[in-house]
Chain A
Amino acid sequence: DIQMTQSPSSLSASVGDRVTITCRASQSISRSLNWYQQRPGKAPKVLIYAASNLQSGVPSRFSGSGSGTDFTLTISSLQPEDFATYYCQQTYTTPYTFGQGTKLEIK
Chain B
Amino acid sequence: EVQLVESGGGLVQPGRSLRLSCAASGFTFDDYAVHWVRQAPGKGLEWVSGINWNSGSIVYADSVKGRFTISRDNAKNSLYLQMNSLRAEDTALYYCAKILGWSGGYFDLWGRGTLVTVSS
Give the interface of A toward B (CB within 8 A): 1, 30-32, 34, 36, 38, 43-46, 49-50, 55, 87, 89, 91-101
Instruction: State whether A45 touches B110 (Cβ < 8 A).
Output: yes
CB pair A98 B45 closer than 8 Å: yes
B residues adjacent to A (C-beta < 8 A): 35, 37, 44-47, 50, 59, 61-62, 95, 99-108, 110-113
Q: Which residues of A contact B106 (CB under 8 A)?
A: 34, 46, 49-50, 55, 89, 91
Mind listing 8 A-B residue pairs with CB under 8 Å?
A: A34-B106, A43-B111, A87-B45, A91-B102, A91-B103, A91-B106, A98-B44, A98-B45
Tell whether, in the assembled complex, residue B103 and residue A32 are in contact, meaning their CB atoms are under 8 Å apart. yes
Q: Which residues of B contact A100 (CB under 8 A)?
A: 44
Q: Are B104 and A32 in contact (CB under 8 A)?
A: yes
Q: Which residues of B contact A43 (CB under 8 A)?
A: 95, 110-113
Q: Which residues of A contact B108 (CB under 8 A)?
A: 46, 49, 55
B-side contacts of A93, CB under 8 Å:
103
Residues on the A chain within 8 Å of B104, using CB: 30-32, 50, 91-92
Give Cα A78 to B63, complex, Å: 37
**Beta-carbon contact of A96 and B112 below 8 Å:** no
Give Cα A94 to B103, complex, Å: 8
Residues of B within 8 A of A36 (CB): 45, 107
From A53, which residue of chain B is reached at the shortest CB distance? B106
A98 to chain B, nearest CB (A): 4
